[in-house]
Structure 1
Amino acid sequence: MAFLTLTNIQKSFGLVQVVHNFNMGIEKGEFVSFLGPSGCGKTTILRMIAGFETPSGGSVVINGKDQGALKPNQRNIGMVFQAYALFPNMNVHDNVAFGLKVAGASKTDIDIRVKQMLGLIKLEHLADRFPYQLSGGQQQRVALARALAVKPQVLLLDEPLSALDAKIRISLREEIRQIQQQLGITTVFVTHDQEEALSISDRIVVMNAGRADQIGTPFEIYNTPATRFVASFVGTLNIIEGKVADPATGAVTIGGQRIALKEPIAGLKGGDSISLALRPEAASIAEGSKGDTSLPGEVVSTSFLGSVIRTKLRVGDDVISFDMFNDPGITPPVAGENVSLRFAAKDLLVIRE
């Protein structure tokens, strides 16, 4: 049995249902990210786990115990908020110690635990400082230490990095993952940033309009998206429109060219329209590049992204993006240039609604 089980979770605010029959089991020590746009229900699920919101239906079970009758302070859950929520009148030591004091721990035990937590986040030297004397990244580390100090059975993180600049976010998310693995604590992380979710999660839940469109590993979510929404929300993706030529053999036509997909096409017949997905990194215009498919097109634009150059190519009625590494010895294509886009047909994914 999973350590944290959500069964038929529902939540409505008035007549508006924001979470629809959500089901999931999260294993002990697992790091699960809820990923999706604003308003998709991910934070509402987090708040129902914490006890800040009461489900309209369904149950939350942690370590075999139903949490429905328990208040937030009775659930032994640590939570880190987007806005840090540190007490401005308390120094770092006292902020981290707060939950332990409320729990009635002795001063000796509190001092030992706080020292352990500040060592974990590498801020022992800032124990006497107040929140206003800390950077945003340091404040978020303190908030994490405070949540972990009480030895929670589940750690909940509600977009904890969204207020930080890009470089600090990358560094801190790696620290959070390292600490989570070191402690082996079951963690639920809410974010709208796909790179964050892909880089640190064991599994990802892609939320869309109150439902889970797909639950899977980062590899599965990125490489085999289950729906059009997942395909378009996670990573950059080309959607190419084609026609089914022979569903039994997986043959389609794109721009008048017949292409064989890696498997038969279920649920469609010859002549039906079909949407296919292709990641930018799977295509190339380089001579001699691997791929059994070649489509002629005209360069629309080229964008310099540092280590990668992204080029948009018009192929028939579609505009397809592809990536090439920034090589100072190779001149990137220019707008108006005619080139051939090469890729492997097996890299085309059939997109379902």
Structure 2
Amino acid sequence: MTFLTLSHLKKSFGATQVVHDFNMAIEKGEFISFLGPSGCGKTTVLRMIAGFETPSAGTIEIAGKDQTSLRPNQRNIGMVFQAYALFPNMTVFDNVGFGLKIAGMGKADIERRVKEMLALIHLEHLAERYPYQLSGGQQQRVALARALAPKPQVLLLDEPLSALDAKIRVALREEIRQIQQKLGITTVFVTHDQEEALSISDRIVVMNAGKADQIGTPFEIYNRPTTRFVASFVGTLNVIDAVVTDQAAGLVKIGEQTVTIRDAIPAANGTAIQLAMRPEAGSLADPTIATVTGIVTSSQFLGSVIRTRVMVDGKTISFDTFNDPGTAPPVVGTTVGVKIDPSALIVLAE
């Protein structure tokens, strides 16, 4: 059932339009990530949901009720920022209970709810400490507990992990996902980190220049990008020039070599197109049975993975294979065959 509905949202700052006709229906309990580079409009959409920005056009509905003209404190939304935004003169306990106190909740109820939240984030033992006495990860967990304490309908997270080191980021993003699933709260998460979005989301919105280029599950976004931008922004990608030789049979020519692909080709015979391929979709093979052949230009041993680059008809193709202790990495300058799974070749749209 649709819970959060964004309909024809637009936002302009002066003459500059930063969000263009944005539409999305989010289910109750879904974890949605807005993913994209700086300036793509993802944070602006989040701030419109929160009420910090007023849409130039469009509507925002939560549980069937129009929120577009409501102030932030009227929307029953929890917000976690990149900067922890904790009150430095308050203890952890008082920070978590601040929203409850403002709402007029009784002292006994506040104490019970704060204890529940501190148990949820595993920081009961730090209730009387102040923010300066906590690590960055601990402070962000307190900020999360504070946002969740008033039982909001929607939780919004604006790049909450970007100020943390890599190891803490991984641990905390997993903890956020576990808490979200436990509470079943509808969540919108903004990030520029593709690994974060792919690892914890139910669906991802890949944003580009104020528009949603593609909305889909992590599996769909990674394996079946529908635009060139999505294909290049999410994950490492090979972009290969090709010419359609037989549209009906799915035949294309890469350089002088003909390759069969499984996807429908939305272009006439003789048309130049571009194909996308993930590095893990290629592997070394005997040149007589390979999809294409080429010259090895580099071979990097990365432990569990060997990353090889092969020059095929003037175009470099990179592919990753798992390390095999019984097989040495390919030698630079040698001719090798590259076997490509036809289902892994994606026809890129403009």
TM tier, smaller: over 0.9
Q: CA deviation at 1:316?
A: 1.1
Q: Distance in 2 between matches of 1:143 and 1:310?
A: 41
* 2:307 alignment counterpart: 310
* 1:341 alignment counterpart: 338
* 1:52 alignment counterpart: 52
Give the match's secondary structure for 1:284: strand
Q: Which 4+ runs in 1 deviate beyond 4 A?
A: none
Q: Describe the superposition over 1:20-69 as per-residue Cα deviations: whole angstroms up to 9, x where unpaired.
A: 00000001000000000000000000000000000000000001111122
Q: Which moved more, 1:13-22 or 1:278-287?
A: 278-287
Q: Describe the superposition over 1:147-203 as per-residue Cα deviations: whole angstroms up to 9, x where unpaired.
A: 000100000000111111111111111110000000000000000111111111110
In 2, are the aligned partners of 1:249 and 1:265 still within 8 Å (CA)? no
Q: Distance in 2 between matches of 1:292 and 1:276?
A: 21
Please show how residues 1-353 of structure 1 align to structure 2 within 5 Å.
2-266=2-266, 268-286=267-285, 293-353=290-350
Q: Which amino acid aligns with 2:275?
A: L
In 2, are the aligned partners of 1:31 and 1:189 still within 8 Å (CA)? yes
Distance 1:334 1:131, change over 3 A: farther
Q: Distance in 2 between matches of 1:25 and 1:293?
A: 45
In 1, are the aligned partners of 2:18 and 2:40 still within 8 Å (CA)? yes
Q: Which amino acid aligns with 2:195?
A: E
Q: Which runs of 5+ in 1 are unaligned?
A: none
Q: Describe the superposition over 1:198-225 as per-residue Cα deviations: whole angstroms up to 9, x where unpaired.
A: 1111100000000000001111111110
In 2, are the aligned partners of 1:9 and 1:56 still within 8 Å (CA)? yes
Q: Which moved more, 1:246-255 or 1:305-314?
A: 305-314
In 1, are the aligned partners of 2:285 and 2:336 still within 8 Å (CA)? no
In 1, are the aligned partners of 2:286 and 2:337 still within 8 Å (CA)? no
Identity %: 71
Q: Distance in 2 between matches of 1:54 and 1:292?
A: 60
Q: CA deviation at 1:294?
A: 2.3
Give the match's secondary structure for 2:284: coil
Q: Which amino acid aligns with 1:335?
A: V
In 2, are the aligned partners of 1:292 and 1:343 still within 8 Å (CA)? no
Q: Which amino acid aligns with 2:46?
A: L
Q: CA deviation at 1:91?
A: 1.1
Distance 1:320 1:92, change over 3 A: same
CA RMSD of aligned residues (A): 1.5
Q: Which runs of 5+ in 2 are unaligned?
A: none
Q: CA deviation at 1:292?
A: 6.8
Normalised to the residue count of structure 1, the TM-score between the two structures is 0.96
In 2, are the aligned partners of 1:293 and 1:345 still within 8 Å (CA)? no
Distance 1:321 1:153, change over 3 A: same
Q: Describe the superposition over 1:302-333 as per-residue Cα deviations: whole angstroms up to 9, x where unpaired.
A: 33444222221111121111001133443212
Q: Which moved more, 1:83-92 or 1:33-42?
A: 83-92
Q: CA deviation at 1:297?
A: 1.2
Q: Distance in 2 between matches of 1:263 and 1:13?
A: 41
Distance 1:132 1:334, change over 3 A: farther
Q: Distance in 2 between matches of 1:91 and 1:292?
A: 68
Q: Which amino acid aligns with 1:251?
A: L
Q: Describe the superposition over 1:260-286 as per-residue Cα deviations: whole angstroms up to 9, x where unpaired.
A: 2114422x2221111001111111115
Q: Which moved more, 1:277-286 or 1:24-33?
A: 277-286
In 2, are the aligned partners of 1:214 and 1:225 still within 8 Å (CA)? yes
Q: CA deviation at 1:293?
A: 4.5
Q: Which amino acid aligns with 1:319?
A: T
Q: Which amino acid aligns with 2:308?
A: T
Normalised to the residue count of structure 2, the TM-score between the two structures is 0.97
Q: Distance in 2 between matches of 1:65 and 1:40?
A: 28
Give the match's secondary structure for 1:285: strand
Q: Distance in 2 between matches of 1:89 and 1:287?
A: 68
Q: CA deviation at 1:335?
A: 2.6
Q: Distance in 2 between matches of 1:131 and 1:224?
A: 44
In 2, are the aligned partners of 1:36 and 1:191 still within 8 Å (CA)? yes
Q: Distance in 2 between matches of 1:297 and 1:335?
A: 11
Give the match's secondary structure for 1:116: helix
